[in-house]
Structure 1
Amino acid sequence: MELVSRVVPSPVGMLTLMASDAGLAAVLWPDDEPRRVRLVAGPEGVPHPILDEAAAQLANYFAGRATSFDVPLDLRGTAFQREVWAALRTIPYGETRSYVAIARQIGRPDASRAVGAANGRNPVSIIVPCHRVVGAAGALTGFAGGMAVKAQLLRLESGRGDLFD
């Protein structure tokens, strides 16, 4: 299924949204590593209802008016990756979980490194909230959008400020 794309402005930089007719397939960062999410976009700027909905939901999130997303998703990855991404979607707004906690949640308590790898390949950053995953001691760990953006997103969700502070 061909993907269409659109670049949208956000308080954390220009984001590239990619969608199929089935759902949103990617939210990519300006300096995203090309091998992190291996999707090839088709036409850019084509009107598409899923791109419209994703852009609107992201704008509401950044403005502090939304705490969850319900845009349809077209997640492309291994069965394990999709299992991890499903677990990430259960992390409530304003909360964090460790890689170890996610590994336990999916019934694979010894797979925290594999959970970290799957987390890093999450194609729909923010919407599948990989930014809510932290190290075992609560330390901020890698994020495709950069550590400063991860800290900003967590700060927004904690109610301690907005993205413009």
Structure 2
Amino acid sequence: MIFTDYYNSPIGGITMASEGEGLCGLWFDGQKYFASTVKGETEDKSLPVFEKTKKWLDIYFSGEEPDFTPKLSLNGSKFRKAVWDILLTIPYGSVMTYGEIARIMAKQSGIAKMSAQAVGGAVGHNPVSIIVPCHRVVGTNGNLTGYAGGIDKKISLLKNEKTDISKMFVLKKN
């Protein structure tokens, strides 16, 4: 059984999902791959992890950096989980390129090169938006490309973190 709850953010509704202990999903309503990791029946229920997530989101949307992370329960391939672990290291207010993540992944895997496109696929399928900060990933030269929640939300999240996006531009819209 997967449990769900909801949060109304300043930039749109958010659905949260949990197997009971950890957060396994957090999506903007209607985003690409919405609830893609939720299989089977769901039930709306208030859980401690949802209350902690709402507190995290309240702090985040107030323009502050939360000093805690709700318990996460990320489901995905070994490759995707490794990419998501790297996302969790991107500092608040900063960005990293798909290519930089690919280089880190290659080094961790002991190989010469890793595909930035493969990394992009893993970033795009991140099931816990915002908290696992896939919005902090940009294309070459800071191009604002790709975000399952939509480029407008990516820009809003980066601005919320006071990220300097003045030299970034939208490469393609989702």
2:31 corresponds to which residue? 32
Map residues 49-88 of structure 1 onto 2, 5 A cutoff: 49-67=48-66, 69-88=68-87
Q: Secondary structure at the match of 1:26?
A: strand
What is the aligned-residue identity percentage? 37
Kept in 2, the 8 Å contact 1:37–1:122? The answer is no
Is 1:140 matched up with 2:144?
Answer: yes
C-alpha contact 1:50 1:72 (8 A) present in aligned 2: yes
Q: Pick the structure with more strand per residue.
A: 2
Q: What is the CA distance between 1:70 and its match in structure 2?
A: 1.2
- The residue that corresponds to 1:99 in the other structure is 98
- Corresponding residue for 1:126? 130
Instruction: Please list, as runs of the form range in 1=range in 2, the aligned pairs for 1:108-127 lying within 5 A after superposition.
Output: 109-127=113-131
- Which shows bigger deviation, 136-145 or 76-85? 136-145
The gaps in structure 1 that reach 5 residues or longer are 161-165
**Structure 1 residue 37: deviation in Å?**
2.3
113-122 or 18-27: bigger deviation: 18-27
Q: Return the offset for 1:105.
A: 1.1
- Please report the RMSD computed on the Cα atoms of aligned residues, expressed in angstroms: 1.8
Q: What letter is aligned with 1:19?
A: S
**Partners of 2:33 and 2:102 in 1: how far apart?**
26
Cα distance in structure 2, aligned partners of 1:59 and 1:148:
20
Change (3 A) 1:132 1:69: farther
Equivalenced residue count is 158
How far off is 1:38 after superposition?
A: 2.9
Aligned with 1:43: secondary structure?
Answer: strand
Moved more, 133-142 or 99-108: 99-108
Residue 163 of structure 1: aligned partner: none
> What is the TM-score normalised by the length of structure 2?
0.84
